[in-house]
Amino acid sequence: MGVVVNQSIKNTIVTYLGFGIGAINVLFLYTSFLSDEYFGLVSYLLSTANIMMPLMAFGVHNTIVKFYSSFKTKQSQNSFLTLMLFLPLLVIIPFGLIGHFAFSYISSWLAADNKIVVDYVWLVYIAAITFAYFEVFYAWSKVQMQTVFGNFMKEVFHRLCTTLLLLMLHAGYLSVNQFIYSVVGVYTLRMLIMKLYAFSLRLPKLKFERIPNVSRILKYTTLIIVAGSVANVILEIDKFMINRYEAIENVAYYGVAIYIATVIGVPYRSMYQIVNPLTAKLLNEKNKIDLKILYQKSSLTLFIITGFIFLMIILNINELYKLINESYVDGLIVVFIIGLTKLSDSLLGNNNAILFNSDYYRMVLVLGVLLAVLTIVLNMVFIPLYGINGAAFATFIAILIYNI
């Protein structure tokens, strides 16, 4: 548990640093330097890319964590990592070809009534690739039990760069168009830096040799694509669907509220970075005693911390919204609803890590697909009726059912 506490503390500090910078960006700089419409556009593009990310990654980031510790020789590890590096291309290349030949249809469908989206649709594909390979290289470092730098890149780096870009936009050094392209460029740079760091921990030696249990690995990878897609659909589909039913500036209002509520889930995210590979290791070793202890401690610790943060935010939410542009106050109810969702997540501790790294992942997959469908249906029902509050209700109901 020592390594968990050590790196969890460091990850929590790094994550909150990132959220602090992000809070400045989202609550003050974006809302002051960018119009509601363009802020909504940026949020929509990144959310759509996040929905695509698990497909682009081909489930590799989860597969590395689950199976790496089961390979005991350097030769088998090299063969395994080589396979993991190239598998995402099986999706990335076909998606690129489809996007090229059907661009007009896809862009029109994604834009719906918000025509501002059309000219930037192709950035979704680029961003999705960079998100995918960032997670692959991050997983690469996780299995070396080094998560702090990766967490810094995941939580701090792009937000710090975005702060700089927003200041340059305000000063007139960037146009709005250049700013949007630069945001995607930052994520690309982040991926490349993570690649260099991951390779510094374990330089890949390409070995195109058959590895043991390859069919089991490929089956898991294929299924985890769907599982990962389900998770991201639940997290991001609300912003995507708000664009289809509401003016795109509502994506910005919703995004600000979501960001405030997401602070509640920071301890969970921080602990998960190191608990996930440790859980996989304990499962591979069939060490149920230590696994039970890890589950109980993570659940209790997370609930106490997130419960305190939830209370602090809810008690001060009105004062917080007085600091933001008046048009964003419509998201106040969203903060409370999504905050409850994050609180329920914390009760489960490392439950998700156990399920995704065990043989029960198939059942999670089936339930997850049903839940994703439910989430989409609920958004289709509630958003036209209640706007962004409807999207929050849909997310709360869907995740509550999933957790139960």
pLDDT tier at 5 (50, 70, 90 boundaries)?
low
Rounded to two decimals, the pTM is 0.81
Distance CA 5, CA 349 (A): 14
pLDDT tier at 173 (50, 70, 90 boundaries)?
very high
Provide CB contacts within 8 A for 258, sequence distance 6+: 239, 331, 334, 338
Tokens (6 digits) for 213: 């249990």
Distance CA 228, CA 216 (A): 18
DSSP letter string, 153-187: IIIIIHHHHHHHHHHHHHHTSS-HHHHHHHHHHHH
Distances (CA, A) of 21 to 56, 183, 192: 28, 15, 22
What is the identity of the amino acid at 31? T
Q: Does 4 have pLDDT greater than 60?
A: no
SS (H, E, C) 45-92: HHHHHHHHHHHHHCCHHHHHHHHHHHCCCHHHHHHHHHHHHHCCHHHH
**Comparing 282-296, 298-312, 353-367, which segment has the lowest mean pLDDT?**
353-367
Q: Does 1 have pLDDT greater than 60?
A: no
Distance CA 231, CA 398 (A): 11
Distance CA 149, CA 328 (A): 34
Distance CA 97, CA 79 (A): 28
